[in-house]
Structure 1
Amino acid sequence: MRFVKIAALATAALLATSATASAAPVSSARALFLIQLTVTGGWSRTVSLNCDPDGGAHPKPVASCALLTAVEGDLWRYLGQQGICTREYQPHTAALTGWWAGRTVHFQRIFANRCEMLLATGSVFDL
């Protein structure tokens, strides 16, 4: 259900962006994402991320856009980083939906804890 809400918000944001930016040419690399992070039993946060130019409400737009550019907007293609995490169990649900180079992209995955999430997704969900 949360993913449906995110998809609806992303669609609305994309329509609003295209309506206001229709006078200016849009490059094929331009991207817009809505990113939601939910901690089970804790909090939930949703932010926007724009790439080309990098910006939005995301706290690390430059690093996140660089990572998404490297995987052509498909976070499933990111191989992650090596590292050691504690065995703490505090599930983090990470969801990304948006638009990249003319196509819709989606990513949603549940991680055992924040450390595992950050190793797997870099700065994209470092909210």
Structure 2
Amino acid sequence: MVSLPSGGKVSISAKLWAETMSTALEPDPHRGRSVLAYPARSSDPHVFPLKDGGQVDLLSYPLAETNEDLAMLIEHPKNSLGWSVVVRLAEEDMAIILKSPCHRRSFGIPTVAGFTDRGTAGTPVS
């Protein structure tokens, strides 16, 4: 997990698609706020559907002023190594994440991208 309190940019290895689950993390709008469409899928993570009909770049943070969302990025099977680079602009640093090919299945292990920015109104579940 990488914290991006001042925003950031992400670069990733080739993915087949990005997708959200069938329902939002917190479907009750009084307990949380999601901005991504559920369910949704896009072959381009720079153009992902929002629930209001717009689009957002999953690789540029923050997605919204307040939100709680989760998307999975499905690794392309041709990749011998899955990778992500997260650049934290204000902190002037980066995190490099590598995924070993020995843990791959038919589509590999997905990259799970959590987008949380004051989007939960209730107490988090532990």
**Scaled by the length of structure 2, what TM-score is found?**
0.31
**Scaled by the length of structure 1, what TM-score is found?**
0.31
The structure whose residues are more often helix, as a share, is: 1
Higher RCO (C-alpha under 8 Å, 6+ residues apart)? 2
